[in-house]
Structure 1
Amino acid sequence: MNSQIDKYKSSIINVDNLCKTVSSNNSDLTILSSVSFKIKAAESVAIIGASGSGKSTLLSLLAGLDVASSGSIEILGQSIGKFDEDGRAALRNQLIGFVFQSFQLLPNLTALENVMLPLELTGNKNAKKLAADLLDRVGLSQRLTHTPNQLSGGEQQRVALARAFVTRPKILFADEPTGNLDSTTGEYIIDLLFELNRENQTTLILVTHDQRLAEHCDRIIELKAGCII
């Protein structure tokens, strides 16, 4: 896989003339129109725009969680539009990590078990140690046996960051990662996110309304009414 990244270092993600329309009340609603851009390996990119501008739809398309109406998305030279749902899921498992606004931790699992889970799904026999080491890295070594309802919002997001990075993904998608946090906690999570990103040389694509977060990125893509401006 590293050789693939070297080969496509100029554009690990290549989006060309991407469009997304949905049917609504017997008419077509355009959510994204003629969106094109490239993202380099290890680059950090913020996608910003007003509510309804198409940010979350674009993120879902890039991650293969949704299918474009037209246009193409290439990841490491592979057109994800050619994959079926199982193929896109396999690509996500191999290359992609996620951080969500609402943390998306499993409520009945401890912090350690939540971080171990993606490793266990791939059969990694060292899951417990790798998960514990990364939770220690994010300052949660004393919270390994705590379930999400025993953790603060900032602690839950740190668990979510550890879970996202534990598989060492090539690409990390983050959807409003500071959206449910107060200003001080948000600043801490921003710093931690970018520290982990630098350490892992991950390609980071995030959707945010938080200007502080966007300004930490190498580049900003702004959407308005489904178009890049």
Structure 2
Amino acid sequence: MLIAENLCKQVETAAGTLTILNQVELTVAKGESLAIVGASGSGKSTLLGILAGLDGPSSGKVLFQGEDITKLTEEQRAKVRARHVGFVFQSFQLLPGLTALENVMMPLELHGEDDARGKAEFFLTRVGLKQRLGHFPKQLSGGEQQRVAIARAFASHPDILFADEPTGNLDTATGAHIIDLLFELNREHGTTLVLVTHEQRLADRCQQTLVLDAGEVVSTNTTKTTGAVA
């Protein structure tokens, strides 16, 4: 499903060349889950962006379903993302002028999906927001907004879901519910998960854990069952 080979990312600064990622390699099979962990500034979000095709490496390559996406133009990568990729971010990234239902419907309509409303209602109900379809983001709690974001991500049936600190702005109890929901939907739909997180409880639920330090992989760990409580 997803393979990274010798990924490097460097940027030029006034002080010289800054290496953000150095020879990072990983493999994630279809339906599996990977947690990318490390201290702030270790390169986690940069790696996630490159794996998702939002950014390009200085060298190395990313193979998605056998295709080297690092050789594609931005327009071509955008088409790959539209067809195959879902995103969940720490900041939710909901449009404030749209209701929960409209936030989930909009990307479906942009992609020409049939019955966008029905699909949006199904996934919002699945994440426990059946009674909140007509509410705007400012009328929802942080946990509810993140559930809308998860419904929006899964409604397009992505092959792979990238999540950047999905519980970072949530309290402990709400974050635990969001973690459960991510893995429930992962099991139901066979969606591959790649997560950046600082929370060990979330990393422990993933089949693989990759630890970054100063842009380099310092350890990897593999478990047998995705979603299992550590």
TM > 0.5: yes
State yes or no: 1:114 paired with 2:103: yes
State how far apart, in whole Å, the 1-side matches of 2:32 and 2:208 are: 8
**Which residue in 1 is equivalent to 2:78?**
89
State yes or no: 1:62 paired with 2:24: no
TM-score by length of 1: 0.94
State yes or no: 1:13 paired with 2:7: no
1:124 CA displacement: 1.3
**Which residue in 1 is equivalent to 2:136?**
147
1:15 CA displacement: 0.6
**Which residue in 2 is equivalent to 1:79?**
68
State how far apart, in whole Å, the 2-side matches of 1:220 and 1:194 are: 15
State how far apart, in whole Å, the 2-side matches of 1:211 and 1:81 are: 31
1:51 equivalent among 40, 54, 58: 40
State how far apart, in whole Å, the 1-side matches of 2:192 and 2:159 are: 6
Unpaired stretches in structure 2, ≥5 consecutive residues: 219-230
CA RMSD in angstroms, aligned pairs only:
0.6
State how far apart, in whole Å, the 1-side matches of 2:25 and 2:122 are: 39
**Which residue in 1 is equivalent to 2:164?**
175
**Which residue in 2 is equivalent to 1:8?**
none
**Which residue in 2 is equivalent to 1:228?**
217
State how far apart, in whole Å, the 1-side matches of 2:127 and 2:18 are: 42
Q: Deviations 1:163-189 (Å, cap 9, x if unpaired)?
A: 000000000000000000000000111
Specify the code of the residue in structure 2 equivalent to 1:54: G
1:26 CA displacement: 5.2
How many residue pairs get aligned? The number is 218
State how far apart, in whole Å, the 2-side matches of 1:164 and 1:110 are: 16
TM-score by length of 2: 0.94
Specify the code of the residue in structure 2 equivalent to 1:143: R
1:123 CA displacement: 0.9
Q: Deviations 1:55-104 (Å, cap 9, x if unpaired)?
A: 00000000111110000100001001111110010000011000000000
State how far apart, in whole Å, the 2-side matches of 1:60 and 1:182 are: 26
Q: Within 5 A, what are the aligned runs for 1:132-211?
A: 132-211=121-200
Specify the code of the residue in structure 1 equivalent to 2:13: S
When structure 1 is superposed on structure 2, of 26-35 and 146-155 the one drifting more is 26-35
State yes or no: 1:130 paired with 2:119: yes
Unpaired stretches in structure 1, ≥5 consecutive residues: 1-11
State how far apart, in whole Å, the 2-side matches of 1:124 and 1:81 are: 28
State how far apart, in whole Å, the 2-side matches of 1:56 and 1:26 are: 22
Any idea what SS the aligned residue of 2:130 has?
A: coil
1:45 CA displacement: 0.4
Any idea what SS the aligned residue of 1:117 has?
A: helix
**Which residue in 1 is equivalent to 2:90?**
101
Any idea what SS the aligned residue of 1:180 has?
A: coil
